[in-house]
Amino acid sequence: MKHSRSEELYSEALKYIPGGVNSPVRSFNSVGISPIFAQKAHGSRITDVDGNEYIDYICSWGPLMLGHSPEELSKGITDMISKGISYGIATEIEVEMAKMIVEAYPAIDQVRMVNSGTEATMSALRVARGYTGRNKILKFEGCYHGHSDGLLVKSGSGTITFGVPTSPGVPADVVKNTLVCKYNDIDELRQIFKEQGEDIAAVIVETVSGNMGVVPGKKEFIEALREICDEYKTVLIFDEVITGFRLAYDSSIGYFGVKPDMVCFGKIIGAGMPVGAYGGRKEIMDVVSPVGPVYQAGTLSGNPLAMYLGKKNLEYLRDNQDLYTELDRKAEKLANGIKENLKKLNLNYTVNRAGSLVCLFFAEGPIENYDDAIKCDIEKYNAYFKEMLDMNILIGPSQYEAMFLSKAHSDEDIENTIKCNYEALKKVHNL
Ligand code: PLP
């Protein structure tokens, strides 16, 4: 397969952009090859600048529930542009969007739009701290909540000591209030709360983690979070940047039957535009400026073009909820197909799935937390990625990313992917 134009662009990009990319995962560094550059995409397919077409399971990392460039969304967008791109004063569509999100998510009364998932989680934590008057927050190992300082914390498993920054540039002082607990571990959670619960402003969690592969929270774990947060008057924040409007139209509330105090959204609510949002019950959101003293603002927050596409995306999902059943069926078909291949090839690997998120772990299961996930054979995954790419299947260039399915992925796409998965696994393991 020819990648010469991508290679040219990459060497040019390296001169002007750190690592040649605007987000690290795009560099394909983790799989040891130079990245492909996108030219266009439609439906389930993405085409690179050398004209190679792939079945796309990256799908912009989650926002594209209807696939690439769906007509349902793009109609009317040029009209919007002709009316102005951004005003800096309030618009009707922001009110409509907020109403839609609040109506869809029965735990919240109000929502504030921001420009990314990172901004949403960062702001929600500030609000939770302002509301409770407490400083500490608790996150889970392997969960990613964007790149704000206080959330970039690495932690040895089982630690209940102060966090240690994962990245240079994050002062230890900033993360000293970030506690880290093992995912899906109710005992450790209770222990941390027994020792420090009165000081914990918020627990932030991915109900299904999509950042250590796909690792679903166990129902009893999510229920325990609710119970413990109630006991200690800690704000429970669901980071639904990946799961929001993906697991179900009512997101994790429908999926787990548990309501948080606050929620963060991103990705799907922008349909591919740079959007995030955080929301909560009115008494919590009342601390946000200009009503309350907690400051949070944004020049482009609630941008009319982003609201237009995001709102259309949500309207489609609200009015076509059978799509969730259909995506579930397709994702199950893909997961089962991969499992059968593993059986045929006698490979002891694990497939996790939650809704339309699927992940093949190159390790024996069960994979229920970060320690389980890091047992994967990364070299084998990297070789597998390259084989799949050669067969025109684009999956995440990292073991720890999900495969994202969309309405546009056909049964034929999935059958083709299962066949390629078999061939790639066979080749990588010299079978
Ligand atoms: N939260 C979760 C669960 C995410 O997966 C991500 C990004 O992938 C973020 C927050 C950060 O969102 P963004 O990349 O839009 O800043």
Neighbours of 305 (CB within 10 A): 18
Tell me whether domains 4-69+321-428 and 73-319 share a fold: no
Q: Which two tokens stand for residue 164?
A: 């240690």
Q: Do 244 and 83 touch, CB atoms closer than 8 A?
A: no
In whole angstroms, how far apart are CA 354 and each of 317, 358, 418? 18, 7, 18
Top mutation candidate among 113, 118, 183 for ligand 1, by most atoms within 8 Å of CB:
118
Q: Is residue 397 within 6 Å of ligand 1 at its C-beta?
A: no
Residue 226 in this model has a pLDDT that exceeds 50: yes
Q: What is the mean pLDDT of residues 277-283?
A: 98
- Asked about 57 being catalytic, the answer comes back as no
Residue type, 122: M
**pLDDT at residue 159 in the model:** 35
Q: Is residue 210 within 6 Å of ligand 1 at its C-beta?
A: yes
- 83-115, pLDDT tens digit by residue? 999 999 999 999 999 999 999 999 999 999 999
Q: What is the mean pLDDT of residues 331-336?
A: 98
- 15-74, pLDDT tens digit by residue? 999 999 999 999 998 899 999 999 999 999 999 999 999 999 999 999 999 999 999 998
User: How many Cα atoms sit within 13 Å of 203 on the Cβ side?
Assistant: 31
**pLDDT at residue 168 in the model:** 84
pLDDT confidence bin for 313, thresholds 50/70/90: very high
pLDDT confidence bin for 335, thresholds 50/70/90: very high
Nearest CA to 285 out of 105, 43, 28, 84 is that of 105
Q: What is the mean pLDDT of residues 245-260?
A: 98
Residue 158 in this model has a pLDDT that exceeds 70: no
Residue 266 in this model has a pLDDT that exceeds 80: yes
Residue-range domain boundaries for the chain: 4-69+321-428, 73-319
pLDDT confidence bin for 172, thresholds 50/70/90: confident
pLDDT confidence bin for 154, thresholds 50/70/90: low
pLDDT confidence bin for 187, thresholds 50/70/90: very high
- Asked about 239 being catalytic, the answer comes back as yes
CATH architecture of 73-319: 3-Layer(aba) Sandwich (3.40)
Q: Is residue 401 within 6 Å of ligand 1 at its C-beta?
A: no
Q: What is the mean pLDDT of residues 252-257?
A: 97
Top mutation candidate among 58, 139, 145 for ligand 1, by most atoms within 8 Å of CB:
145
Q: Is residue 338 within 6 Å of ligand 1 at its C-beta?
A: no
182 CA to centre of own chain: 19
**pLDDT at residue 166 in the model:** 74
Strands 276-280 vs 262-265: parallel, antiparallel or unpaired? antiparallel
Neighbours of 291 (CB within 10 A): 11
Q: CA 271, CA 22: separation in Å to the nearest integer? A: 19
Count of all residues that appear for the chain in the document: 431
- 342-397, pLDDT tens digit by residue? 999 999 999 999 999 999 999 999 999 999 999 999 999 999 999 999 999 999 99
CATH architecture of 4-69+321-428: Alpha-Beta Complex (3.90)
pLDDT confidence bin for 156, thresholds 50/70/90: very low
272 CA to centre of own chain: 13
**pLDDT at residue 157 in the model:** 35
Residue 242 in this model has a pLDDT that exceeds 50: yes
Q: CA 383, CA 181: separation in Å to the nearest integer? A: 32
Q: Residue 262 belongs to what H/E stretch?
A: strand 262-265
Task: Output the CA 429–ligand 1 centroid distance in Å.
Answer: 33
- Asked about 144 being catalytic, the answer comes back as yes
Residue type, 351: V
Share of the chain above pLDDT 70, in %: 97
Q: CA 230, CA 136: separation in Å to the nearest integer? A: 16
pTM of the predicted structure, to 2 decimals: 0.97
**pLDDT at residue 164 in the model:** 61
**pLDDT at residue 160 in the model:** 37
**pLDDT at residue 209 in the model:** 96
Q: What is the mean pLDDT of residues 291-295?
A: 98
Q: Is residue 144 within 6 Å of ligand 1 at its C-beta?
A: yes
Residue 8 in this model has a pLDDT that exceeds 80: yes
**pLDDT at residue 152 in the model:** 86
Task: Output the CA 183–ligand 1 centroid distance in Å.
Answer: 18
- Among 54, 105, 144, 183, the active-site one is 144
Q: Which two tokens stand for residue 234?
A: 């800690």
Q: Is residue 146 within 6 Å of ligand 1 at its C-beta?
A: yes
Q: What is the position in ligand 1's atom list of the atom closest to the CA of 23? A: 14
Q: What is the position in ligand 1's atom list of the atom closest to the CA of 211? A: 5
Q: CA 34, CA 389: separation in Å to the nearest integer? A: 12
Nearest CA to 201 out of 229, 161, 235 is that of 235
Give the mean pLDDT of the chain. 95
Residue 162 in this model has a pLDDT that exceeds 80: no
Q: CA 239, CA 74: separation in Å to the nearest integer? A: 28
- 403-429, pLDDT tens digit by residue? 999 999 999 999 999 999 999 999 999
